[in-house]
């Protein structure tokens, strides 16, 4: 499963999801956060964007696994974006999602 900090990132990944066989994409950003909540059974996710200190409030383990950068993009959305592997949410997604959803 993939969770993105920005709805821009989620939309881009969703566009290519079928072509590359990627898992479901979720984002707590803006209206995208209302498209669906990750299943409570999801115990680990690739999280695109965000900051380690914030993610550690919501996951027991947070590890940087990569970076994405597009020189033509926007800082924090498509430029210099960290990709994290986040494991063991501290609460079920159904409880966590309303807390991390943002505008």
pLDDT of residue 10: 95
- Is the pLDDT score of 40 beyond 70? yes
Which two structure tokens, joined as six digits, stand for 87? 């494991």
Which two structure tokens, joined as six digits, stand for 26? 């979720």
pLDDT of residue 44: 98
* Boundaries of domain holding 19: 2-100
pLDDT of residue 75: 65
pLDDT of residue 79: 79
- Is the pLDDT score of 6 beyond 80? yes
The domain total for the chain is 1
pLDDT tens-place string over residues 42-93 = 999 999 999 999 999 999 999 999 998 887 776 666 778 999 999 999 999 9
pLDDT of residue 15: 95
Q: How far is CA 100 from the centre of its chain?
A: 11
The structure's pTM equals 0.92
Other CB atoms within 10 Å distance of the CB of residue 25: 24
């Amino acid at each position: 499963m993939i969770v993105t900090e920005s709805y821009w990132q989620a939309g881009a990944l969703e566009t290519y999801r079928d072509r590359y066989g990627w898992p479901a994409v979720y984002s707590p950003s803006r209206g995208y956060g209302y498209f669906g909540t990750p299943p409570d059974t999801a115990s680990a996710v690739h999280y695109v964007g965000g900051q380690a200190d914030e993610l550690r409030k919501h996951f027991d383990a947070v590890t940087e696994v990569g970076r994405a950068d597009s020189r033509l993009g926007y800082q924090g959305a498509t430029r210099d974006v960290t990709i994290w592997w986040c494991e063991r949410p501290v609460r079920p997604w159904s409880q966590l999602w309303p807390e991390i959803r943002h505008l």
